[in-house]
Amino acid sequence: MYISNYRSRCEAIFLFFLLFLVACALRLVYIQIFRSNYLATIAKKQHNLFTEIEPLRGIIYDCTLKPQALNLPADSLYAAPNMMSSADKERAISALSKVLNLSQDYLRERLSRKKAFIWIKRKLSLEETASVKKLKLKHLGFIRENKRSYPNAYLASQIIGFAGLDNVGLEGIELSLDQYLKGSSGWGMFLRDARQSRLDVYEKISSPKDGMDAILTIDQVIQYIAERELDKAFKTYNAKGATIIVMDPYTGKILAMASRPTYDLNEYGNVSKDQKRNRAVCDLFEPGSVFKIVTAAAALEERKINEEDKIFCENGQYRVANNILHDHVPHGWLTFREVIEKSSNIGTTKVAQAIGAETVYKYIRLFGFGSKLGIDLPGEISGMIKEPRFWSKTSIGAIPIGHEVGVTALQLASAISVIANGGRLMKPYVIEEIRDKQGVVIKKSTPTLIRQVISLDTAARISKMLTGVVEEGTGKMAQVKGITSAGKTGTAQKIDPKGGYSHNKFIASFIGYAPAEEPVVTIVVSVDEPRPYYFGGVVAAPVFRNVAAEAVRYLKTKQALSN
């Protein structure tokens, strides 16, 4: 009886294990046949990491091939929240908030997601990477990316602009040339270990295509000189803003362009719109007396007057309709040459009345005011010029001397270049060429003539008058030692929001070129609301002098070395 029971029990146990084995086999068959794809997908997700491989953004060079924007390797921190315990997350939140300067609420929100991959912070500094690695936190890892770097920090910041974390251009050249600079992304399928850490082993990969390089017309040396001198004036005169442009008058190449206030391109996160704005192309202002070159050119070109014709300047007061026009210093009889040299508002207005509103307007448009010049920078505006049918009775006494008009510093630079180069309006540009990584030129800019504005003879006669402005007139502080220069001062009252013109807010300007006989550079300097001095001949002219002296010497030395 005992043996029979024992045998029955053995058979029952054997039958149980046999059925269990059959069940396991059936389960395995089911998994292998019906669930294999699903489970393989899960395994693949656990052990494979699909990563976008970003291309190297194109390098931006100055005209001497010195890099102004390049790429540096940087680590980006990620986490695998679905692998982390609550304790792991709390430890990570507490530690990372301190070393990465991130709020705990932000980190808690990121780590609460049920995902295998989330970014914690992109493109860390070397110090941040080292600090995170010392923490030895679980289920965190790094992916190597490229970070945009600007080696000259503040230099030409409004021209170059910057690219964001995803290497997309957001301002300046980085924005306008983004389609060339950014390249196209690749991808890679990388292996991960059981802790979800990335291994330097990949299953599949598609290489990215790096961006093209851009070469600017900007010269780093001249840009530095221009910014240094502009900065001195901006700080010395407690100005609200300031702008400088240095241009090749014969080609339209921009050799330097800067605005104040400015900012560090590597620290663009908390920069105001005022700092990022390229005032040279997007700020509108009344130019004041620098605009008199247009009236003078129109009068000479139309042969309505010559340099030695005398004009009575009414001893400083002249009625135009219901407005009394003043000169900053009373004058009696002046030759037309002296009217320009001494910047007489009354003398210039009388010349404008003689040639007529339609003619004045014609030459304003010919010089490029009231329309975009087509520079290859974002944000250019056209300015504001009224047609004669909209002029008031007093406009003939305002527009010819630079009031009731809105211009940009770029338009002034192009206009004074017309006088310097013999009467031609050239299209300004800052992008010399675009090359691929093999050095093949994809796109190249060449000097472009917009139109002939005045004759060579008229330009030469105006040039002599502007030389007189510097040697004998209001621009004496623009005199460059050893070099003859030509130019025009301007001091314009700003419009008062309450109506009329302000008596304590001015824009001080100087436009000119050097050397006067064979110009190498044209320069425009504009200072917004300088204090306590506000005359263009005092505030802006010395900036021109210092920049012209060094720029001309540098360019002539550079040319001699290249020959």
Q: Which domains, ranges and CATH numbers included, belong to the chain? A: 50-216 (3.90.1310.10), 220-263+280-433+444-562 (3.40.710.10)
Is the pLDDT higher at 85 or at 226?
Answer: 226
pLDDT in tens, 502-546: 888 999 999 999 999 999 999 999 999 999 999 999 999 999 999
> What is the rounded average pLDDT of the residues 310-318?
93
- The residue from 157, 176, 289, 463 that is catalytic is 289
pLDDT in tens, 395-412: 999 999 999 999 999 999
Tell me the C-alpha distance between 173 and 155, whole Å.
14
Residue 418 has pLDDT above 70, yes or no: yes
DSSP string, 147-174: EEE-TTTTTTHHHH--B-TTS-B-SHHH
pLDDT in tens, 235-268: 999 999 999 999 999 999 999 999 999 999 998 8
- β-pairing, 213-216 vs 60-61, is parallel
pLDDT in tens, 130-139: 988 988 888 8
Say which amino acid occupies 437: K
What's the mean per-residue pLDDT of the chain? 89
Query: What pLDDT, on the 0 to 100 scale, is given for residue 405?
Result: 96
Tell me the C-alpha distance between 515 and 503, whole Å.
36
pLDDT in tens, 486-499: 999 999 988 888 77
Query: What pLDDT, on the 0 to 100 scale, is given for residue 43?
Result: 52
CA atoms within 13 A on the CB side of 284: 16
Residue with tokens 């040396």: 221
Query: What pLDDT, on the 0 to 100 scale, is given for residue 415?
Result: 97
- Active-site residue 289, yes or no? yes
pLDDT in tens, 15-60: 777 777 877 777 777 667 766 665 556 555 555 555 666 788 999 9
In the chain, % of residues over pLDDT 90: 65
